[in-house]
A and B are shown apart, each in its own frame.
Chain A
Amino acid sequence: MAEVILVVLQRTAAAPALLTAAERLAELAGGAHLSVLAAAAESIPQLRAAFARWQARPRPEPLPVRWHEAPGEPEAAIVARGSRADLIVAARPRDDDSPAVQVGFRAALLQSDRPVLVVPPEDVFRDALRTFGRRVAIAWREDVHTTRVVLPALRYVAAAEAVFVLAGMRPGRPIPAMPALLAERRVAAEMHLLPIGPGGLGEDLIDKVHELHADLLVMGAFAHTRLHDLVYGGVTRHVLACADLPVLMRF
C-alpha cells in the first residue's frame, strides 16, 4: 500500500519546481509514489520534456513515478486524480497565468478535498525546495479547515527540527493556548501570538514566517461564495499572492 502524491503540471516553467518539491515531500513521507499529471491543453510535449529532464537526474534509487496526460479536460482530471491521492502538489498562481491555469489550481484546492502543497514556481526558490520541511510554521485557527490540514501535515513533519504555531490574537478575546491537537500528540511546538489588527493577518503572518526562518507553512484555506463566484478569504488570498515558501493548504 503506497502513499500517492499527485503533481499537477500546467505551466512548463513551473514544472521543475513542482517535481523537486514533490520529490522532497515523498522523502518527508518516508516514501511515496508520484503521479505526475500534465493538465494543460497545449503544452503537453514541453511538459513531457521537462518531466524527462527531471527524471534523468542522478539518484541513488529510482523514484516510483507514473506519467499521465489530460489534454482534453484538465480540470476534471485534476479533481478525479486529486481526490484519489493522499496529497496534491500544485504551483502557486501567478498574475500572468492563463484562465485555464487559474481554473486548474482552484479545482485542485477547492474541489479535490485533499491537502495541496502550493509551491512557489519561480526558479530562485528551487534550492529551498530540495530541503523544506525542517522548520514548519502552522497558522492556527480553531476551526475545521485548520484541523483538516494539520492532521495530514503531521505525517510530513515528524522529523522537523522546529514546529511553530502562529495564532492570531484579537483584543478582548482570550489568549490562544497551545492547540490540544498538537499537545496531545506531544508535538514540541513553539507558540507565537500575532495581534490581529484592522488590516488582517496576511502580511504579519508572512513576516513572522520569515523572522522564524520557517521553510514550510501549513494553513487552512478559506473561500466563500460571492455572487455565484467562489472568492478566497483574506489571509488565503494574501498567502496565495506572495508566499515565497511552500504552503500546505486545505479547503
Chain B
Amino acid sequence: MPGVILAFLERPDSAASLLAGAEHLAGKLGNVQIAVLAVRVPPEAGIVPGEEVVPVRVAVRRRLQEQERTAALHAVFAPWAARLEAGGRLVRWCETEASTEQALVEWGSRADVVVLSRPEEPSLLTSQAALHAVLFGTDRPVLVIPPGSSASFGRRVALAWRDERPATRAVLSALRSLVPPEKVFVLAGVRPGEPPPRLPDILAEHGIAAELHVLEDSHGVSGAELLEKAHALGADLLVMGAYRHSPVREFLLGGVTRHMLMHADLPVLMRH
C-alpha cells in the first residue's frame, strides 16, 4: 500500500521546482505515490454570503482565468508525470473547484506529507493562507520548497531545535526517510543564564548521530540567524517545528516560522 505525497501546485512559474521537490522526496520515502493537487478557486470565494453577488460576466471571466491557470499547471505536470510513470512511480493529477484552504485541509489531512511552494513575494495572500491552512489545519508534516530550488536535499540536515512538541513531531516525520542523511546539525538557541543546550534525546534514541551548534541570543534566535547558520554549515534541508501566531507565547515564536515561510532559500520540513 503506497503512501501519499500531496504536492500542491498553485503558480505555473514555480510548478517545476515544486514537482522536482516532490519527486526527490518520493525517492527518500520509497513506496509512495505523488498526488498533484490543482485547485480552481470559484468566483464567489472570498465574498461574504449575502453581502454581494458576483455579476455573471465577472464570474465567467474568473472561471476562465482559473481554467487557464490550471491548464498551465497541467502543461508542466504532464511531461513530468510521463517521465515518472515510465520509471514506475505512481502519479495522480487531482483537480477540484473549491476554496484553496478547504481543499488543502481535506486532501492534506489524509496524505503522509504535503509539499508546497514557498510564496515568492510576501504579498501573495492566497499562498500565505494556504500555508497556514496546511500547517495548522491538517496535523501533517509540510515540506516547503523555495522558488527556483535545486532538486536535491536531505544529505545535510539542519534541525532548528527547541525541546517542545512541534520540533519533536517534525523530527519524527523526518525520520520516515529511508535514506539516512550524511550529516545532521542541531541548531539550538541559548539565553544568558540558561544551562547550555544538549543534543536532543530523540536523535540518539532513533540512532542518529548529530553535531550541536549553539546560537547565542538574548532575544531568542531569529529566522535570519538560523538561515545564516544553516548555510554556513552547507545544510540542504531545514527541519523545524511550526508555530501559529495567535496566543501570546506562540506569537513570539511565530516570527521564526513566518520568516522561513517568506525567506527560506532551502527546503524546510515543518510541522505544528
Q: Which residues of A contact B (CB under 8 A)?
A: 1-4, 33, 35, 83-86, 113, 144, 147-148, 151, 154, 158, 179-181, 184-187
Contacts and interface: CB of A to CB of B under 8 A. Distances in A.
Nearest to B94: A184
B2 A186 contact: yes
Given A147-B110, A148-B139, A181-B110, 6 more contacts: A2-B207, A84-B168, A84-B172, A86-B175, A113-B165, A144-B109
Chain B contact residues, majority secondary structure: mixed
Contacts of B177: 1
Contacts of B202: 84
17 contacts: A1-B175, A1-B177, A1-B207, A1-B208, A83-B165, A83-B168, A84-B168, A84-B205, A86-B172, A144-B139, A147-B110, A154-B1, A154-B3, A179-B110, A180-B110, A184-B4, A187-B1
A1 B208 CA distance: 6
Contacts of A185: 1-4, 33
Given A83-B168, A154-B1, A185-B2, A147 B139 contact: yes
B112 interface: yes
B109 A147 contact: yes
B68 to A, nearest CB: 28
Contacts of A85: 205
Nearest to B164: A83
Contacts of B112: 151
A83 B208 CA distance: 17
Interface of B: 1-4, 33, 35, 92, 109-110, 112, 139, 165, 168-169, 172, 175, 177, 180, 201-202, 205-208
Contacts of B168: 83-84
A29 to B, nearest CB: 12
B1 A158 contact: yes
A85 B207 CA distance: 12
Contacts of A83: 165, 168
Q: Which of B92, B112, B205 has the most CB of A within 10 A?
A: B205
Given A33-B207, A185-B2, A1 B180 contact: yes
A179 B4 CA distance: 14
Contacts of B165: 83, 113
A190 to B, nearest CB: 15
Contacts of B110: 147, 151, 179-181, 184
A186 B2 CA distance: 7
A4 B206 contact: yes
Nearest to B110: A181
A67 to B, nearest CB: 13
A33 B206 CA distance: 8
Contact of A186 (B1, B169, B201, B205): B1
Nearest to A187: B1
Nearest to A188: B1
8 closest cross-chain pairs (CB), A and B: A181-B110, A84-B202, A2-B207, A185-B1, A187-B1, A1-B180, A1-B175, A147-B109
Nearest to A154: B1
B233 to A, nearest CB: 20
Given A113-B169, A151-B110, A2 B1 contact: no
